[in-house]
Structure 1
Amino acid sequence: MRINVYSQELTDEVLRIEKQSNTGVTYSAVQVILHSSEKLHHPPQDDDRSAVTFWLPKSVKRRERLAQAFERMADLVRTAPHETGLD
């Protein structure tokens, strides 16, 4: 699967969320909130905004590997050529 998020959709809003399943297990995730029109969310308490959600693995080792992947991604963002992309 490939997920494309365009630069115009990016925000700096990142959340940590937790959801309890019907089995009693609590799952944690980090979520990158994407830009969407305020007209789509009525009333304001309706938070069904678009987002990319990364559900976290249970083990400390796999969580650390995921954190390292995000850190590598941040480094690639900072070192990418400036003349590419749209704002």
Structure 2
Amino acid sequence: MRINVYSQELTNEVIEIQKESNTGLTYSAVQMILHSSERLHHPPEDDDRSAVTFWLPKSPDRREQLAATFERMATVVRRATPETGLD
């Protein structure tokens, strides 16, 4: 699977999510909120904004691996050749 997120869709907003499943387990995620039309939004409890959600693994080792992956992504972003695309 490939997911494309264009730079024009990016925001600085990152939120933590916790959801309890019907089995009683609580799952955690980190979500990158994307730019989306204000016309989509209704009451505050109905947050239907566009986002990319990363559900977190349970074990500390896997969480550290995921954090290290995000840190490597940040390094690649900082070192990437400047583009002539849109902001």
Q: TM-score, normalised by structure 2?
A: 0.93
Aligned pair count reads 87
For 1:33 and 1:44, the matched residues in 2 are separated by 15
- Which ranges in structure 1 are unaligned for 5 or more consecutive residues? none
Quote the residue 1:18 is aligned against: 18
Q: Percent identity?
A: 78
| Deviations 1:30-66 (CA, angstroms, capped at 9, x unpaired) | 0000000101112354311010000000110000000
> If the length of structure 1 is used for normalisation, what is the TM-score?
0.93
Structure 1 CA distance for aligned equivalents of residues 72 and 18 of structure 2:
25
Runs (4+) of structure 1 exceeding 3 A deviation are none
* Structure 2 alignment gaps of length 5 or more: none
Q: Counterpart of 1:73 in 2: which secondary structure?
A: helix
